[in-house]
Amino acid sequence: MKLEENQLIELYKSAIELWKYEGNLFWMKFNNFVLINTILVLAIGAGMGGTKYSCALNILLSVIGIIFCEYWFPILERSMTYHNFWIRRAREIERKFKVEYENKIVNIGKELQSSMISLSGTTKNILGIFKFLYLLVLFLSVVSLFISLDLSALLQ
């Protein structure tokens, strides 16, 4: 029986460590995506010159930004799933401990439950703001590109 108890303790410790690791990894991914998108927006802002070349560059950067936004949500969602899996796993092991270790193991179940990550409205709003900016710049750049072309030369 002692071997099974030690195995449960080790499994519990592993689940807690993996829960913490996945939580940190989630926020690292989120911050990296915010950083990448901020750099792209700054590059777009720096390239706002109104020339054909700056319009073409802004179109390219906007498309890249939209692609990043499309991958952002699924990547965070997958990371959140792993994070929450380890919380649930720790809770399962905790329930086994309660039978024999009511007073010896710290029950962090409520803390674990409150720390479960969900993609809240704020996260989705940040992603939506970046996506909206890219779509707006894409539209304005395409319009500017057509305006800057010499239409009279095209008609002849």
Cα of 7 vs its chain's centroid, Å? 34
Question: By the 8 A CB rule, do 86 and 19 touch?
Answer: yes
pLDDT at 51: 73
Does 52 have pLDDT greater than 80? no
Residues in the chain: 156
Instruction: Compute the distance between CA of residue 108 and CA of residue 95 in angstroms, rounded to an integer.
Output: 11
Q: How confident is the model at residue 105 (pLDDT cuts 50, 70, 90)?
A: very low
The pTM score is: 0.73
Q: 135: which residues sit within 8 A by CB, 6+ positions away?
A: 62, 66
